[in-house]
A and B are shown apart, each in its own frame.
Chain A
Amino acid sequence: MSSQLLYAFAGVALCGIGLFGYIRLDHLLRKLLAFNLMGSGVFLVMVGLAQRGGEPDPVPQALVLTGIVVAIAATALAVVLIRRYYHLSGRTTLAESGPEPKNTPKPEAHPEGAEV
């Protein structure tokens, strides 16, 4: 097996693990981590597959850099939303009903924190 295929398969495996977590885990932060894992898998496929004849190809490297920036922006947005959601509802999952949250919800605790 050539090294580029090894990278690609490792990336696909990471994607699979991430997808499993993304669907099966309930806690929102864990979902977010699973998303990041999937993202890393995609980047690995991108860089790994495109090595033509052992020469690294600069184009996917540039793409992955952009992809990382996008992933960071998405992660930051998700963290802000999840944190704000927790402040308002006291929940860490998207379930509409379920066990009562332990912390008492503090509605409108930080109104300006909704969109930072």
Chain B
Amino acid sequence: MTLWLMAGLLFTPLAWAVLTLLLDFSKGRVVTWLGILVQVLVSLGLWATVASEGGFHYLLGGWQAPLGIELRVDGLAVTFVLLTALVAAACGWHGGLYLDPGKSWHRYFWPLFWFLWAGLNAVWLGGDLFNLYVGLELISLSAVGLVALGGQAEALRAAIRYLLAALLGSLAYLLGVALVYGQTGSLSLAGVATLVSDGAVSSGPVFPLVLMLLGLALKTALFPMHGWLPPAHGIAKSPVSALLSALVVKASFYIAARLWLELGNELGSYVLAQVIGLLGALAVVWGSWQALLQPKLKQVVAYSSVAQIGYLFLLFPLTWGVAGAVSLQAQQGITLQVISHALAKSAMFLAAGNLILSAGSNKVDALAGVSRFLPFSLFSFGLAGLSLMGLPPTGGFAAKWLLLQASLGSGQWWWIVVLLVGGLLSAGYVFRIYRASFVEDSGTDHFYHPPRSLEVIPMILALLALGLGLVSDSVLSVMALPFDEGGAG
């Protein structure tokens, strides 16, 4: 049973990518929706299997590492696999209705979408450093293609900027991998961690670790390396922006977090952890501030992503050199933040897409009066905003609560200031959109009404983000399942 689930999970995206490459947009849409159904069912099945039986190692095709690909299927990985399935299903559904089938190049949305999904699954499950690199590159290249789908010179400029940043980040990571392999002779993350903690290598690979973290931070758009993100996420089609903000930036963060949690305590230092945390804090403040100033609606949402990504990097100071219980709290808080941001931000981008479609302009000021015509989408936008602000009972609140406790528990009270200021500023930019949309004196009376299903999708995602706070305990319990390290080598 597990074998079939794993085969379905890994095989479907690649097969569907090739299949949809041969079809036009409308046929590709039908085929993709079938594939999405398969993926969601398989992800649910795998999640249920791991939740009841615990995690396991899976050798792809029965080949042993290092030449084979060893996958690590643990509670955290399947949680992210399921999250990816939910968000990607929503974006694929929305994209099929949102994109114009009349533009011939839009048919490439489907293969790129599937390659992206394949890359994401590869990263969540990857157990060795090199295959994580391949997964990252698969994600980057398809994400860049998706950004370029806009077709205009502006979209291409954003795509090229994104590609240049992503390639530089990947190369830094790969150089780090090369140095780690040269020093330890192992590519498996768990293997390297064992060698380092046993003291088997004379001097720990500190420089490679920093290099890898630097490359991954560039790909995650950590302040001040975030310059490529707002243009790319702002100009892409809304379903694409949702995918990029919700999932793509999380992939590189996930690898950085795994590296830090395995190797950080031996190789990291107080200064390194605090510097990364400080950059995250600056990202929260700077990103939110910029979101308050942007004239275009999607730029507001994109800068909000820069800010929300900043919170994730608080993981580094809050897990270094602290008690085990505090570290666990921080890890749980960050995981909840990843999940709730993915759900809320995809809801927000999809709702923003509907608002833009309706108002016929991407300016915030053009939204005047839209509240009477599109209350449903605006409401989804606001619900997602609640989660970003961290108001109870949303997932964002649960995440920030855990982070708050971890900050207090580790005696690093200064991160609490960041959490509070970030929450206030995000309230500021969400209310700014609301204020613009409730202005009544614009005289504009022509608003396009998008199909009802386009409005339902962001609402579902926003409700999921809202409900996450209520079920966070059961979500966290699956992640914390014990994992048998015996198979790692």
Chain A proximity of B300: nearest CB distance (Å): 20
The digit string for A53-70, where 1 denotes a CB below 8 A from any CB of B, is 000010110110011001
**Contact partners of A67 in chain B: CB under 8 A:** 133, 174
Instruction: Pick from A15, A35, A42, A77: contact of B144, CB below 8 A.
Output: A77
If the complex has contacts A85-B160, A112-B104, are A52 and B179 also in contact, measured as CB distance less than 8 A? no
The answer on a CB contact under 8 Å between B141 and A73 is yes
The interface size of chain B toward A, counting residues with CB under 8 Å, comes to 40
Question: Is A88 on the interface with B (CB-CB < 8 A)?
Answer: yes
The digit string for A16-55, where 1 denotes a CB below 8 A from any CB of B, is 0000001000001001000100110110011001101000
A62 vs B68: C-alpha distance when bound (angstroms): 11
The answer on a CB contact under 8 Å between B67 and A62 is yes
Question: Is B38 on the interface with A (CB-CB < 8 A)?
Answer: no
The answer on a CB contact under 8 Å between A85 and B141 is no
**Contact partners of A15 in chain B: CB under 8 A:** 171, 175
- Among A15, A22, A67, chain B packs the most CB atoms within 10 A around the CB of A67
Closest to B156 in A: A85
A8 vs B185: C-alpha distance when bound (angstroms): 15
**Contact partners of A38 in chain B: CB under 8 A:** 171
A42 vs B183: C-alpha distance when bound (angstroms): 15
Instruction: Pick from A52, A94, A105: contact of B160, CB below 8 A.
Output: A94
The answer on a CB contact under 8 Å between B137 and A111 is no
Chain A proximity of B206: nearest CB distance (Å): 16
Chain B proximity of A85: nearest CB distance (Å): 4
Question: Is A74 on the interface with B (CB-CB < 8 A)?
Answer: yes
Instruction: Pick from A46, A111, A112, A114: contact of B178, CB below 8 A.
Output: A46
Question: Is B57 on the interface with A (CB-CB < 8 A)?
Answer: no
The answer on a CB contact under 8 Å between A94 and B161 is yes
Question: Is B168 on the interface with A (CB-CB < 8 A)?
Answer: yes
Interface-forming stretch among B29-37, B147-155, B192-200?
Answer: B147-155
**Contact partners of B175 in chain A: CB under 8 A:** 15, 41-42, 45
The answer on a CB contact under 8 Å between B105 and A115 is yes
Chain B proximity of A65: nearest CB distance (Å): 11
The digit string for B118-151, where 1 denotes a CB below 8 A from any CB of A, is 0000000000001001100100110011001101
**Contact partners of B177 in chain A: CB under 8 A:** 46
**Contact partners of B160 in chain A: CB under 8 A:** 28, 78, 81-82, 85, 94
**Contact partners of A81 in chain B: CB under 8 A:** 144, 148, 156, 159-160, 163
The answer on a CB contact under 8 Å between A39 and B171 is yes
Question: Is A3 on the interface with B (CB-CB < 8 A)?
Answer: no
Q: Tell me if A's interface is mostly helix, strand, loop or mixed.
A: helix
The answer on a CB contact under 8 Å between B148 and A115 is yes
- Among A15, A52, A94, A114, chain B packs the most CB atoms within 10 A around the CB of A114
A94 vs B157: C-alpha distance when bound (angstroms): 6
Chain A proximity of B130: nearest CB distance (Å): 5
The answer on a CB contact under 8 Å between B148 and A63 is no
Instruction: Pick from B137, B182, B187: contact of A8, CB below 8 A.
Output: B182
Closest to A50 in B: B182
The answer on a CB contact under 8 Å between A114 and B148 is yes
Question: Is B439 on the interface with A (CB-CB < 8 A)?
Answer: no
Question: Is B224 on the interface with A (CB-CB < 8 A)?
Answer: no
The answer on a CB contact under 8 Å between B156 and A77 is no
The answer on a CB contact under 8 Å between B104 and A49 is no
A106 vs B164: C-alpha distance when bound (angstroms): 25
The answer on a CB contact under 8 Å between A111 and B168 is no
The answer on a CB contact under 8 Å between A84 and B156 is yes
A63 vs B108: C-alpha distance when bound (angstroms): 29
Question: Is B103 on the interface with A (CB-CB < 8 A)?
Answer: yes
**Contact partners of A42 in chain B: CB under 8 A:** 171, 174-175, 178
Question: Is B448 on the interface with A (CB-CB < 8 A)?
Answer: no
Closest to B103 in A: A111
A35 vs B183: C-alpha distance when bound (angstroms): 25
A8 vs B171: C-alpha distance when bound (angstroms): 15
The answer on a CB contact under 8 Å between B171 and A89 is no
Chain A proximity of B228: nearest CB distance (Å): 10
The answer on a CB contact under 8 Å between A74 and B163 is yes
Chain B proximity of A77: nearest CB distance (Å): 6
A64 vs B139: C-alpha distance when bound (angstroms): 19
**Contact partners of B167 in chain A: CB under 8 A:** 35, 74, 78
The answer on a CB contact under 8 Å between A70 and B144 is no
The answer on a CB contact under 8 Å between A59 and B187 is yes
| Nearest 9 pairs of A and B residues by beta carbon | A49-B182, A46-B178, A88-B153, A89-B153, A85-B156, A115-B108, A45-B178, A114-B105, A70-B137
Q: List 12 A-B contacts (CB under 8 A).
A: A31-B164, A45-B179, A46-B182, A67-B133, A70-B133, A85-B157, A94-B160, A111-B104, A114-B148, A115-B112, A115-B145, A115-B149
In the complex, given contacts A39-B171, A81-B160, A114-B148, what are 13 additional A-B residue pairs having Cβ atoms less than 8 angstroms apart?
A: A31-B164, A35-B171, A41-B175, A46-B174, A46-B177, A46-B181, A50-B185, A73-B141, A74-B167, A77-B144, A84-B148, A85-B160, A112-B105
